[in-house]
Structure 1
């Protein structure tokens, strides 16, 4: 199902188009119509299924005509998730006037007065951790009179972290007439008990992570960034029998860099990203299909809905944002019961993401040693970098950071 089929606001669709969104994931296909209809929802969906966009997009669609009132509260277990969701809101709402603010503790958070202003008469959407929100509620100035939407994301994790009482207390401050959405990776008894207390006749959805095709031989190489292009050059040179190689990267800037690096070795290589017009994309794909181009470097705009036969080798130049995108990327090879190879290049900062993907696909991927000429890569055991989040102000139309093109085409 395509996003245009949901008939969402034109400014929201403009942002989705700019970011390379086209096909909805299963959780989005099922949840978006339910949320747009105003029904309560309980959804079992892991990180990596596209669940964040599943609840953000219909809420933003509803909010495009309402301004300057706190309309939506999203409660999350950690500051990292609060920042992630706020950044996604910023991208989706770039062409609208909708504003949001993350509310969480710690030294890198927005200052108290900024949070207070947002909670009284500022942002339409607040993304908050339970403890920090309780601190503001205790001061008596939070205005929830106009609240229409409540979302609990990673609800099972919040309960595991001991936030049950905080959540129950927050509920006492909210209007009884509201739409409530609950997302949880698992559905233990305590989650169902909470759902009975805060949801009214909810629609229930359960989505599992897609699994890679059996014919894909998966491998991972731990590399420094400076080793990635030389490694790809080495693999291409050693395998002249491989006629179709697809290289994925998360940004269009990287597409251009990789193409330049491979062209220096006189390989038949082209790049494709959302910067190209539709007719240009079609011409590039035609040359790749007809084997005139041996190596195609692409952003995630190509990871969904494109059927190209006989791709022997998929290389992830970087780790995609979630498991679903990983499965879609490597699913470009080993189609129709054929065999194929998928290699992911992981630097120190991306180790944690690949560890998470392995857990979600329930498989330990084979580690590949680097060729001796490239030297040693980082030590997996000593790495495990954590996500880095940028700080910055918010803005409505014409403000904030512009949505990124084709950066994991369908985020969490």
Structure 2
């Protein structure tokens, strides 16, 4: 099957072919005919499978054939990075069609908000937005969504994880009841099905390769304690085989601390976290994408908001609490049929999480021997809640204040 078989609008097909697309991916092959047929859809597919184009192409085809200068499609995304990424794909695919799009997200200054407001007033064809900022424009009265024909929820599971369910339902209250709704999610927990039941009408369902890492990923595990993690990172990054690497940590405080350690070790890296200004985040991603920055350190916001080919190494500095997040993290490497390495640091507290991951991917992960040079690094003793290290024989403070109560007499 080729993209010619979908009978797309001529200008749209020209854009598709100019971007080097020839053969649709499995998710595209299954979903595009359903969307072209006007049916609601629930599609379950992980990142890196081509899901963005699978909904953008039929939506762009519809807008190309109707020639209406109005806001016809709304795409909701959980993060600003994903919203920008989708907007960039629209720009490429729709290059010859004259279709316009606008990314709407928070985190910028007043000038960014004003630019978004002007873009809305110009009646772009497609808005790609994070829920919070979209609601701000809706409540201001500048944004009207009464002509929407297509609503897309991309990475719906992540939006619910981030607490956007009420915002999503509020946004939907502004939309026409007669519309085509498409829900894309990497996982399909019960609450996603509940949401789908509330907002979709007789949807078709497609499931593609759920929660299975790409075959080209060499998955490895190192058993170690926390004080060995950063020294091991430094050793790994000295390996010239890794020209491009992402390090995932569980919290932005760890991201900042690790960045300082690597900077002191003369490793060219940048920290990516929510405390940065939007312009700073965009600059880091652009440098990383253009191979001007070899190492980027971030939290799970990066795992679904970055689409860069040629990443050689992904390191899980911390084991993610959700096994699905592990799949998304390591899915940053071995994209587009390439190969890559994914290394996970596992301490004693994380053994259960590792077991859950191995159950999810239905295979054990290869355990690597820790370099001998790290063997002498000792773990830091944990402090007891009432003072003193574990193993300290000092008496714990008496929890009673004043005199002990006398035993009752018989």
TM range (shorter): 0.5 to 0.7
Q: Please name the residue that 2:116 is paired with.
A: 115
- Displacement, 1:35? 0.6
- Displacement, 1:322? 8.8
The answer as to 2:22 corresponding to 1:22 is: yes
Q: Please name the residue that 2:32 is paired with.
A: 32
The answer as to 2:355 corresponding to 1:326 is: no
The answer as to 2:138 corresponding to 1:137 is: yes
Cα 1:225–1:27 change in 2 (3 A) is: farther
Contact 1:48 1:322 in 2 (8 A): no
**TM-score (normalised: structure 1):** 0.56
Looking at structure 1, the residues matched to 118 and 40 of structure 2 have their Cα atoms a distance apart, in angstroms, of 29
Looking at structure 2, the residues matched to 216 and 128 of structure 1 have their Cα atoms a distance apart, in angstroms, of 32
Contact 2:313 2:340 in 1 (8 A): no
- Displacement, 1:366? 6.6
Looking at structure 2, the residues matched to 345 and 217 of structure 1 have their Cα atoms a distance apart, in angstroms, of 6
Looking at structure 1, the residues matched to 211 and 194 of structure 2 have their Cα atoms a distance apart, in angstroms, of 28
The Cα offsets for residues 280-335 of structure 1, whole Å up to 9 and x where unpaired, read as xxxxxxxxxxxxxxxxxxxx9xxxxxxxxxxxxxx98789x9949937625xxxxx
Larger Rg belongs to? 2
Looking at structure 2, the residues matched to 216 and 135 of structure 1 have their Cα atoms a distance apart, in angstroms, of 41
Contact 2:156 2:192 in 1 (8 A): yes
- Displacement, 1:113? 2.5
The answer as to 2:85 corresponding to 1:103 is: no
What 5-or-longer segments of structure 2 have no aligned partner? 222-232, 244-289, 292-308, 315-328, 344-356, 370-410
Q: Please name the residue that 1:181 is paired with.
A: 182
Looking at structure 1, the residues matched to 217 and 202 of structure 2 have their Cα atoms a distance apart, in angstroms, of 42
The Cα offsets for residues 360-399 of structure 1, whole Å up to 9 and x where unpaired, read as 9677877999xxxxxxxxxxxxxxxxxxxxxxxxxxxxxx
Looking at structure 2, the residues matched to 124 and 140 of structure 1 have their Cα atoms a distance apart, in angstroms, of 18
Q: Please name the residue that 2:400 is paired with.
A: none
Please show how residues 385-396 of structure 1 align to structure 2 within 5 Å.
none
Q: Please name the residue that 1:201 is paired with.
A: 202
Looking at structure 2, the residues matched to 195 and 20 of structure 1 have their Cα atoms a distance apart, in angstroms, of 34
Number of residues of Structure 1 aligned to a counterpart in Structure 2: 276
Looking at structure 1, the residues matched to 134 and 87 of structure 2 have their Cα atoms a distance apart, in angstroms, of 16
Please show how residues 391-410 of structure 1 align to structure 2 within 5 Å.
none
Looking at structure 1, the residues matched to 74 and 216 of structure 2 have their Cα atoms a distance apart, in angstroms, of 44
- Displacement, 1:68? 2.5
Looking at structure 1, the residues matched to 83 and 217 of structure 2 have their Cα atoms a distance apart, in angstroms, of 35
- Displacement, 1:3? 1.4
Cα 1:122–1:316 change in 2 (3 A) is: closer
Flag as ranges the 4+ runs of structure 1 deviating above 3 A.
Answer: 209-220, 222-230, 315-319, 321-325, 342-346, 358-369
